[in-house]
Chains A and B, each alone.
Chain A
Amino acid sequence: SIKNPPQNPPPRPPPEMRRKQA
């Protein structure tokens, strides 16, 4: 299944990750 990546955009980073980035 490496040949067909999902067609929908991936999820945004989880909230706790974004707090770290900010």
Chain B
Amino acid sequence: GPIILDTYRVIADFEKTSKHEINLHTGDLVEIVEKNQNGWWFCQCESKRGWVPASYLEPLDGPEEAEEPDPDYEGDLHITTQAYQAEQEDEISLEVGETVEVIHKLLDGWWVVRKGEETGHYPSMFLQKSDKKN
């Protein structure tokens, strides 16, 4: 049968930063072809196709909370594959190879992680599941 794609509404203008992305304008409707855990979703909008940030989209039929996975306060062990320097106050700075506990895997690709006493958002594309047990 026909594949029915999820339709989302654009909530803010977005300017692409690489050729594989597409520009977005508030109010546009886009159809999602693929949702990537790193927060980039592949979509088609009119005649254009490309990657867009999930953080700039909301589902047509109401808030996204229903889609967000529940937090796991026990923490899911991951290792940082790339360093990142926090740019906003609710983010956390980490070096390569650090073991952290992932508390909340948000759809926008910025996961809430805990390192000792510190918690903050970190790019999920710089995290890799660790096979170490808690």
A contact residues vs B (CB 8 Å cutoff): 1-2, 4-14, 16-17, 20
Q: Is B125 an interface residue (CB 8 A)?
A: yes
Show the binding face of B for A, using Cβ within 8 Å.
Answer: 11-12, 14, 17-21, 33-34, 36, 38-40, 42, 49-51, 53-56, 58, 63, 84, 88, 108-110, 121, 123, 125-126
- Chain A, Cβ-Cβ closest to B14: A11
Given A1-B51, A2-B34, CB of A13 within 8 Å of CB of B108 = yes
| Cα(A9)–Cα(B86), bound, Å | 12
| Docked-complex contact B53 and A10, CB < 8 angstroms | yes
Pick the residue among B19, B20, B88 that contacts A12 (CB under 8 A): B88
List of A residues within 8 angstroms of B40 by Cβ:
5-6, 10
Q: Which residues of A contact B14 (CB under 8 A)?
A: 11
Cβ of A9 and Cβ of B110 under 8 Å apart? yes
Pick the contact of A9: B20, B39, B51 (CB < 8 A): B39
- Flag if B12 contacts A17 (CB, 8 Å): yes
CB contacts (< 8 Å) of B50 on chain A: these are 1
14 contacts between A and B (CB under 8 A): A1-B20, A2-B33, A2-B42, A5-B38, A6-B51, A7-B125, A9-B109, A9-B125, A9-B126, A11-B53, A11-B55, A12-B55, A13-B56, A14-B12
